Amino acid sequence: MGIFVAEGIGPLERARGFTLAVGGAESNVAVGVARLGGDATWLGRLGPDSTGSLIAGRLRSCGVRVIAVPDEAPTGLMLRYRRSAQFIHADYHRAGSAGSRLTPADLPPAELESAGIVHVTGITPALGDSARAAVFAAVEAARAAGVPVSVDVNYRSKLWSRFDAAPVLRDLVARADIVFAGPDEAAVFLDAADPVGALAGLGPAEVIVKDGARGCVAAIGGERLTVPALPVTAIDPVGAGDAFVAGYLAERLAGAPPAQRLRTAIAAGAFAVTVPGDCEGAPTRADLAALTGGDINR
């Protein structure tokens, strides 16, 4: 989707101007994987407007392969502003948008069957019935082909209620091989003091709970791992979780062991918060080496 970002901090009516950017969890992850040297393909519907063209062009310029299904509806938008230094407010304009009209018929079977990982989030199912059906169809096609399925829960309360989201997210997680969630997101559909164990109990072999400044805890292949956060000066927290996911998936695609995947994920998320924007801060391998003093495995 396109994002209008208000400049400065304060009430929206005091904004000095706006910047048009590109965002969306799935596109952020695709950009992050590509920046780290992985092959990434983004699939979605885009409207016949300048925002749709901007999104496709921006993704391609970042090294992402784009499969854009044309749609007559407008491309979705978000308006975001910082009400204070700590509080970021977002208004979605996605109902009836091109992206919300994604359908199972849009999915290219050969692309799904040949993928290294199929990654989806809990945002797309919130956009409407057809988009939800497309997500589950993609997951089932990947599972049938033996392709690992990655799910980032990414619960958005402005898109749907906890009551509506809970059974869908639980079902989606149960079909995944790799799951990412924050503790609060896991609590939407699980009542457990240990979100890592509860998520693993639904079936995924790789569960990663990302917890911001507290780092992450994971259960991978029966082993529990904890990696602390890296100390950085945060400029903008938006996109940190997506950068984290991209770091993990890029390393998994490269065949790295679990501990290295998590360290890269932590470093990628840390680097992302030092740069304003959704995916503008997605790091390269050189960026991560600079952040960690040349030792990403420390």
CA 88 to chain centre: 18
Question: Which of helix, strand or coil describes residue 163?
Answer: helix
Residues 121/25, Cβ–Cβ less than 8 Å: yes
What span, in angstroms and rounded, lies between the C-alpha atoms of 297 and 193?
Answer: 30
Q: Is 184 a catalytic residue?
A: no
What span, in angstroms and rounded, lies between the C-alpha atoms of 63 and 108?
Answer: 20
Element (H, E) at 15: none
Residues 6+ apart with CB under 8 A from 31: 40, 59, 62, 63, 64, 246, 279, 282
Q: Amino acid letter at 245?
A: V
What span, in angstroms and rounded, lies between the C-alpha atoms of 142 and 129?
Answer: 20
Q: Amino acid letter at 126?
A: A
Residue 63, CA distances (Å) to 30, 32, 60, 164, 222 in order: 9, 10, 5, 36, 35
Taking every pair of Cα atoms in the chain, the longest distance, rounded to a whole number of angstroms, is: 52
What span, in angstroms and rounded, lies between the C-alpha atoms of 82 and 64?
Answer: 29
Tell me the residue length of the chain. 298
Active-site pick, 71, 152, 236, 242:
242
Phi-psi region of 251 (alpha: psi -120 to 50; beta: other; left: phi over 0): alpha
Catalytic residues: 242
